Structures are given as structure tokens and as C-alpha cells.
Chains A and B, each alone.
Chain A
Amino acid sequence: MTEPDDPAVFAYFHDGHVDRDNIAHYRGLMRSRLLVNRCNECGHWIYPHRPLCPECLSFSVEPAEVSGLGRLYMWTLIHQSRDPDKPLATPLLAAAIELVEQPGLRYLSRVVGCPPERLRHDMPVQLTWIEEEGRRWPAFTPLDMG
């Protein structure tokens, strides 16, 4: 599968803030790969997608694929939508996933395959992909310990 070009990324993510510092991340999402910027000099992971390594001030920053393993750092179950025209049929879960690559490296996502009452702080999760209104998005599911 060839890499989508810039116009394809802009078209696919027509409703998001695509810029030069994050377009590689969005290109990755189109191919079901979760990419996060990483410093070529010292290996530090940089998220949100910024062009500078805060550890060593290197601008040599490149998107790299993460393992998809992490832990559930914190979450909320959204019962009420801000938009009165779009009420939520079921509560919406928003979860900050701390990726194993680095302490404090978190990605905001969904947790699927687990009822809300069984969520626990710091429970291990792994990356999966969900379909939403015709687009694929990253999500996380409890890590299969078997």
C-alpha cells in the first residue's frame, strides 16, 4: 500500500488541525499505524507532535511507531454532550492512555471491549482499531493476559 500524499491526508482529515508537525502522524492513522514523534539524537518521545526535543533541543525529530502497549492513566465517562442537538445515546468514554515507551507519554483515546465499571487505574491495555463514521481510529482494549 503506497503512502497517502499530503492532499489525501488533508482530505481524509478534513475536520482536523493537520499541520507540518503532525501530518506524518495522520498519514500513519490512514494505514492503521500509531506514530509519535521521536528524537533522533537522544531517543526521547515527543507528544503532542512538536518539532523540537525538549530534552536535548535537537530539531532532528522523526515519527516512529509505538508498540501499542500502555496503561489506563485516567478516564471519564461523559454523560452529557455540550451540543444539545447531539445528545449521547450511551455515555462516551474518554481515556488517557500512558504508553509504555516513556513515563508521562499519554494519548487520549477510547477503551473498547471492557464495560466502564471494570475499568481500573493503571490497568494494562493494548492498541486496537475502531471504525467510526467511515474512518478508522486508534482505540485500546484490555491487554489479553492469557
Chain B
Amino acid sequence: MARNPLRDKVAIVGIGSTRYGRDLGRSELALGLEAAVAAIRDAGISPGEVDGICGTGMTPLAMGGAGFLSLQGALGIERCTWGKNGWLGSALVFTVEAVFSGLCDMALLVQANVRGANMSRSAARDPYRARAARYADVGGDVGLGDFAKRWIHSGEPYAAIMRRYMHDFGVGKNAFAMMAVNCRTQGTANPEAILRHPLSLADYEASRTIWDPMQIADMDVPCDCAEALVITTAERARDLRRKPVYVHAMSLGGTRIGEYYENFAGWRDNSFQVAHRGLWERSELSLADIDLFYPYDGYTMDAVAITEAAGYCGIGEATDLFRSSWDASRNLLMLDGRVPVMTGGGGLSHGRAGGANLYAEAARQLRGDLGERQVPGASAALISIGSFFHDPSAVVLRA
């Protein structure tokens, strides 16, 4: 017998459909939105009750159509703790599993289709369909023919956000510098780290400016790498040779800002904040139980904002927190005097793995077999990976 623990546990409560036509003269997003609004009205809920979205597409980002980020932004849904794109039969399955697992309670599934430019001769002559096909399902540097689209899934706005952070909270770059130096110090104990030599605060200050005020020492190290994890049920895990590491609680976090980063919603309403609120609402462990902390460091701005979102300090207070957590003799952060940050060195030292190396490092620490850089007695880790705008996870793993 296969397991079916979700039997009768999930139901469809609203349905919305658009007209069907050979040429309705509408964008894929417009069609998806019409169906979405109709389904929301049919269910008798408000858009704000939606906390998970499965959009249309086979890529995780959401450009060029009715992807989950564009849908959330267009519908003005303030926060979601789950989001994904799907297509064909998988889309319903993704959505049901998200609801069943508790990652969201009211999921919206939207599948929009248009007659593609490659599907008929008349469609191929339609400039709208041709242009949509050219830009479908891609992220980053899209539409650079128009400067106003330059910050779609771009890194540059993080530099502007960094400057805005310093302005809004009246601080300098100390928090960013300490995070960068900390990760490089942690990386010295990782034989696989791309940058295994330490960085001093003076080195940080002297590092090259890339996107003013962001410097190269604020940015993770591009590299070739891969990480993989095998994940199974707790029951099955008990019979395997390795000590299991359990997923205790997790959340995603999306906001209505979507993929146009100039619309950054500020310090209280960004995806890091949503994900961590979602996590702590689901977790029985709290910050006091966490022994290891892995704030994604694609840019130091991410790691600083994640530290604040996790609840180690208030928004804008990382500078004071890091100063009081700084071990100057070792150039290391120790939060609350006991929690190391980013063992293994993270993206700034070990290398740019999209955060996957943070999950792997945390799991190895919790198994207790990391040799020289093992943190003795570590039994719970907080790993938070993603961006202000899309796909942030907040995960508690425990031994």
C-alpha cells in the first residue's frame, strides 16, 4: 500500500474561467488574472486571504506571463508563505501538497495559455505573440532595451537598497563589513572555500567598488559547484545508516512587489520578513533554541536584513548587534555570545551556490561529523536563503 495521508484533507473551493478564443487580444497575465479574480470571487474570499500561489510555467522565476510573482504583484496580495510555477498535471499536485503540508492555507492555482508564435502561421505573424515568446520565462537583464526594466531580477538595486539602509537608520557600513569579514574567517576552516584567506576590516574598506556603495567584498564569489540532498520521511530515515536531520519547520515568503525591484516595499514588508514570520508561526523551536545561523550572503545586504528578520535584533539594529557580538581576537561574529554565523564561509568565502551550500553545511554540522570545524553539541540550525523579492526560505533543521 502506498501512503495517502492527505486523503480528504484538501478541497477545491473556488473556480474561475475565462473565455476561450483563437485571438482574444489579451496578454497571458491578463487572462490569468481574469480567471484568478473569478475564482477568488467564486470562493467568496478576499485576495488577502490567499497565502500561496501556483503560477504558470516550468521555470522557478516568473517573467513573461502568469508566473506566481507577477500574479501576486498584479493582484496586490501582500504576503504569501508559498509560491511556485507549474504546468500540466503537476500544477494541481504542487498546490495540494503545499496546502496539505501547511506551507499555506488558501492557495490560488492559475494556469494561463496563449496560442504560441510557434503554433500556427497566423500566430507567427502576430508581433505580440512573437515578442512574448522571445521574453518568455527568463529573468534578469530582461528588456535591457528599456532602462526602466533594468532592475527586473537584478543585483544592482541591492546596492541602492544598501545606501537607503544606511540613510534610514543613520549607520555606516560596519554591519556589512563585519558580516563580510566573519564569513571569510569562517571560510579559512573550509578546505573547499574559494577564498580561504582571511579578510580584515581594512581589506574590506579598500576593496573595489562595483555598484556604489556596494564593493566586491560585499558580493558572493562566482564559482562552479553543486550540492545535493536526499530527503525522505522521518520513519524511513530511522532505518538508514546516517543520523537523520529533521526539517522542523519552514516557510517561503513573497510580497506584492514582485519582480520590479525599484518598488522595494521597505524594511517591514519584504520577503525576508514574511518568510521569518511564517517560520516562527510554524516552529515549536524559537530563536533561543538555535545553535547555528546561516543568513544567505549573496550580498552582505541580504545577510544583514535576514539577521534582523530572524529576530536577533530589531529592524535597522544589526550594527549594534554585530558590535556587541564581535570577537575581535578572532574576527568572528558570535550572536548572543554563542551562535556562530555561517560556518563553512557561505557564498562570500566558500562560493556562490545559491545558498545550497548553507543547507549542506548546516546538515553536516547537525550530524556532528565536520571534524575540525564541528561546532560541539549543535542541535538546531536556522537557514534563511533568498532575496528581498523572491523565493526566500526560512528553515529550522534539528538533529
Query: Which residues of A come within 8 Å of B, CB atoms?
Result: 6-7, 10, 13-21, 47-48, 50-52, 54-55, 57, 59, 73-80, 82, 91, 94-96, 104, 106-110, 116, 121, 137-138
List chain B residues, Cβ under 8 A from A6.
127
List chain A residues, Cβ under 8 A from B263.
47, 96, 104, 106
- CB of A145 to closest CB in B, whole Å: 21
Closest to B75 in A: A54
Which residues B7-57 have CB closer than 8 A to chain A?
Answer: 25-27, 29-30, 33-34, 37, 40, 47
Bound complex: CA A95 to CA B150 (Å): 11
Instruction: Find A16's partner among B25, B132, B149 (CB 8 Å cutoff).
Output: B149
- CB of A63 to closest CB in B, whole Å: 14
List chain B residues, Cβ under 8 A from A17.
64, 131-132, 134-135, 142-143, 146, 149
Q: Which of B134, B150, B213, B265 has the most CB of A within 10 A?
A: B150
Which residues B183-217 have CB closer than 8 A to chain A?
Answer: 208-214
B147 touches A50 (CB 8 A): no
- CB of A93 to closest CB in B, whole Å: 9
Bound complex: CA A77 to CA B151 (Å): 13
Number of A-B residue pairs at CB separation under 8 A: 145
List chain B residues, Cβ under 8 A from A94.
147, 150-151, 156-157, 160
Residues A74 and B264 in contact in the complex (CB < 8 Å), given A7-B127, A50-B73, A54-B256? yes
Q: A17-B135, A17-B146 are in contact. List 5 more A-B contacts (CB 8 A).
A: A19-B27, A19-B132, A48-B73, A51-B27, A94-B151
A-B contact pairs, 15 of them (CB 8 A): A16-B149, A17-B64, A18-B127, A19-B128, A21-B29, A47-B260, A50-B70, A51-B27, A57-B75, A75-B160, A78-B156, A82-B141, A94-B150, A107-B262, A108-B147
A51 touches B30 (CB 8 A): yes
B156 touches A76 (CB 8 A): yes
B145 touches A74 (CB 8 A): no
List chain B residues, Cβ under 8 A from A48.
73, 258, 260
Q: Which of B26, B73, B147 has the most CB of A within 10 A?
A: B147
B residues contacting the other copy or chain, number (CB 8 A): 56
List chain B residues, Cβ under 8 A from A106.
262-263
The interface stretch among B86-94, B100-108, B161-169, B348-356 is: B161-169
B127 touches A80 (CB 8 A): no
> Is B229 engaged at the interface, CB distance under 8 Å to the other chain?
no
Residues A16 and B146 in contact in the complex (CB < 8 Å), given A54-B74, A57-B37? yes
Bound complex: CA A13 to CA B208 (Å): 35
Residues A77 and B211 in contact in the complex (CB < 8 Å), given A20-B128, A21-B29, A48-B260? yes
> Is B172 engaged at the interface, CB distance under 8 Å to the other chain?
no
B212 touches A77 (CB 8 A): yes
A10 touches B262 (CB 8 A): no
> Is B321 engaged at the interface, CB distance under 8 Å to the other chain?
no
**8 tightest A-B contacts by CB?**
A54-B76, A15-B145, A96-B262, A76-B159, A74-B160, A16-B145, A77-B212, A51-B30
B135 touches A79 (CB 8 A): no
Bound complex: CA A66 to CA B16 (Å): 34
A20 touches B27 (CB 8 A): yes
B75 touches A19 (CB 8 A): no
A55 touches B76 (CB 8 A): yes
List chain A residues, Cβ under 8 A from B313.
none
> Is B223 engaged at the interface, CB distance under 8 Å to the other chain?
no
B33 touches A137 (CB 8 A): no
List chain A residues, Cβ under 8 A from B234.
none
List chain B residues, Cβ under 8 A from A59.
30, 33-34, 37
Bound complex: CA A110 to CA B151 (Å): 13
List chain A residues, Cβ under 8 A from B167.
121
Which residues B122-160 have CB closer than 8 A to chain A?
Answer: 127-128, 131-132, 134-135, 141-151, 156-157, 159-160
